[in-house]
Structure 1
Amino acid sequence: YIFARFRNWAFSVGTVAALSIDTFAVIGFYSLLWKVMPFSMEIDQTFVAAILTIVGYSINDKVVVFDRFREVHQLYPKRELRALFNDSMNAVLARTINTGLSTILVILCILFLGGDAVRSFVFAMLIGVVVGTVTSLFIASPVAYSIMRTQQEKKQLEPKK
Structure 2
Amino acid sequence: ALICMGIYIFARFRNWAFSVGTVAALSIDTFAVIGFYSLLWKVMPFSMEIDQTFVAAILTIVGYSINDKVVVFDRFREVHQLYPKRELRALFNDSMNAVLARTINTGLSTILVILCILFLGGDAVRSFVFAMLIGVVVGTVTSLFIASPVAYSIMRTQQEKKQLEPKK
Measure how far apart 1:127 and its partner are. Answer: 0.1
Q: Percent identity?
A: 100
- 1:82-130 deviation per Cα after TM superposition (whole angstroms, max 9, x unaligned): 0000000000000000000000000000000000000000000000000
Measured in 2, the distance between the counterparts of 1:31 and 1:50 equals 15
TM-score, normalisation: structure 2 = 0.96
Aligned residues: 161
Measure how far apart 1:66 and its partner are. Answer: 0.0
Measure how far apart 1:15 and its partner are. Answer: 0.1
Measure how far apart 1:55 and its partner are. Answer: 0.1
**Deviant stretches of 4+, over 4 Å:** none
Measure how far apart 1:132 and its partner are. Answer: 0.1
Q: How does 1:4-15 map to 2 (within 5 A)?
A: 4-15=11-22
- Establish whether residue 118 from structure 1 lines up as the match of residue 125 from structure 2: yes
Taking only aligned residues, the RMSD between alpha carbons, in angstroms, comes to 0.1
Measured in 1, the distance between the counterparts of 2:9 and 2:54 equals 25
Measure how far apart 1:18 and its partner are. Answer: 0.1
- 1:68-94 deviation per Cα after TM superposition (whole angstroms, max 9, x unaligned): 000000000000000000000000000
Structure 2, unaligned runs of 5 or more: 1-7
Measured in 1, the distance between the counterparts of 2:72 and 2:144 equals 8
Measure how far apart 1:34 and its partner are. Answer: 0.1
Measure how far apart 1:134 and its partner are. Answer: 0.1
Measured in 2, the distance between the counterparts of 1:51 and 1:76 equals 37
Structure 1, unaligned runs of 5 or more: none
Measured in 2, the distance between the counterparts of 1:30 and 1:95 equals 29
Q: 66, 69, 74: which is aligned to 2:73? A: 66
TM-score, normalisation: structure 1 = 1.00
